[in-house]
Every structure is written in structure tokens, then in C-alpha cells.
């Protein structure tokens, strides 16, 4: 079953964003979260090529995920590859690869409003976010706020939810979380 059917691809083209609850099985999200919790060596996130991060802009820890190997995180990487191929077939985007990053937000973690492209480098065309947070409730905060033409839309980071949007168009932020929050973010790229 594809992640994005024809209707979703049309929505991505018209609204620049599509949200798919339960896009991934609960068991896969739970296994990826458990694997993520066991990882060491997290590095402090940046906010652009070579720029230091400010606690006023973002408070999370990140780790790049390699697309090869075994385990739930590698399975997610294979799903991102399948999504890349779907987008190329259905939307003719010419996506040539992707980057995949795990983010952990401790209680109080957030990320101020931003777009997912760098100045003078718009290779990132599509952002795809998969959430790994079972039992997420509104009191936990941590919503992804999308700033769209019709106003702000909040997406709860519930396990299995997939959010796909056009990287250079959608201003977005992560609202402060009150409990630990995990997300896998893929940036699908065009060009070299």
C-alpha cells in the first residue's frame, strides 16, 4: 500500500502538506522508539550549515540515521526510500536521495518557526516526519505547528503519524513538549 495515494499527492501539490495518521504500524513505531532510546552519541542540533545553535531557537538532540543495516530505524529508512520513489512516480519531483535524522525533545524542548531549506541551497524539496510517541495526549504539548495560508494547523506527534510537506514553502515549528518526544525527519533531495 502506498504512503501517498493520488488524492494525497494532489493535496501535497495544492496545499503543500499532507498528514497521514496511522501511516506506520504501532509495533514499528514502538520498536523504533525503543531503539532510539538506547542510542548514545547524540549531538547538539544546528540551524544551518556551520552555524551554532541557540537555545532560543531550538532545544533538541539529534542523530543522523544511516539508511543501511538492521533494526526499526533502518526499516524507516527503507520506507523513506519507498516514499521517494512514490513521489517521483506520482509527482515527477526528480528526488535523488534523502537525509534521515532522529530528534529527541526532552521536556521543555521546542524548535522555533523555520523552513527546511538553507540559504542559496534548495536541494531539500520534501520534508517527511514520522512520529514515535505512543499514547500522546494534548497535555503533552509538542505539536508540530504548520503555518499555512488558511492559518496555523497543529499536528499531534502521535506514534505512526506521517507528515509530508514541501520543504521550501511550509513555515513550521515544534511547540514545547512536557514529556519526552521522538521524531524521525527525512529531507528528500533533488540534484547532486
The mean pLDDT value for 77-84 works out to 95
Of 155 and 192, the one with more pLDDT: 155
What is the reported pLDDT for 96? 96
Question: Does 113 have pLDDT greater than 80?
Answer: yes
Please give the model's pTM, rounded to 2 decimal places.
0.91
Contact criterion met (CB below 8 Å) for 25 and 160: yes
pLDDT band at 121 (very low <50, low <70, confident <90, very high): confident
Residues above pLDDT 90, as percent of the chain: 76
Complete domains list, the chain, with CATH: 6-190 (2.60.120.620)
Q: pLDDT (tens digit, 9 = 90+) per residue, 12-22? A: 999 999 999 99
What is the reported pLDDT for 163? 98
Amino acid at each position: 500500500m502506498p504512503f501517498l495515494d493520488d488524492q494525497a499527492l494532489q493535496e501535497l501539490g495544492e496545499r503543500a502538506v499532507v498528514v497521514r495518521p496511522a501511516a506506520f504500524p504501532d509495533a514499528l513505531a514502538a520498536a523504533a522508539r525503543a531503539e532510539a532510546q538506547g542510542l548514545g552519541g547524540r549531538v547538539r542540533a544546528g540551524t544551518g550549515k556551520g552555524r551554532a545553535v541557540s537555545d532560543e531557537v531550538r532545544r533538541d538532540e539529534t542523530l543522523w540515521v544511516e539508511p543501511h543495516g538492521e533494526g526499526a530505524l533502518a526499516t524507516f529508512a527503507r520506507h523513506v526510500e519507498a516514499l521517494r520513489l512514490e513521489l517521483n512516480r506520482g509527482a515527477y519531483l526528480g528526488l535523488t536521495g534523502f537525509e534521515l535524522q532522529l530528534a529527541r525533545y526532552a521536556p521543555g524542548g521546542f524548535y522555533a518557526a523555520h523552513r527546511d531549506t538553507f540559504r542559496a541551497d534548495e536541494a531539500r524539496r520534501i520534508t517527511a516526519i514520522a512520529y514515535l510517541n505512543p499514547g500522546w495526549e494534548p497535555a503533552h504539548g509538542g505539536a508540530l505547528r504548520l503555518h499555512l495560508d488558511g492559518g496555523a494547523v497543529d499536528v499531534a506527534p502521535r506514534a505512526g503519524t506521517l507528515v509530508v510537506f514541501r520543504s521550501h514553502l511550509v513555515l513550521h515549528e515544534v511547540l514545547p513538549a512536557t514529556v519526552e518526544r521522538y521524531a524521525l525527519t527525512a529531507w528528500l533531495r533533488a540534484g547532486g
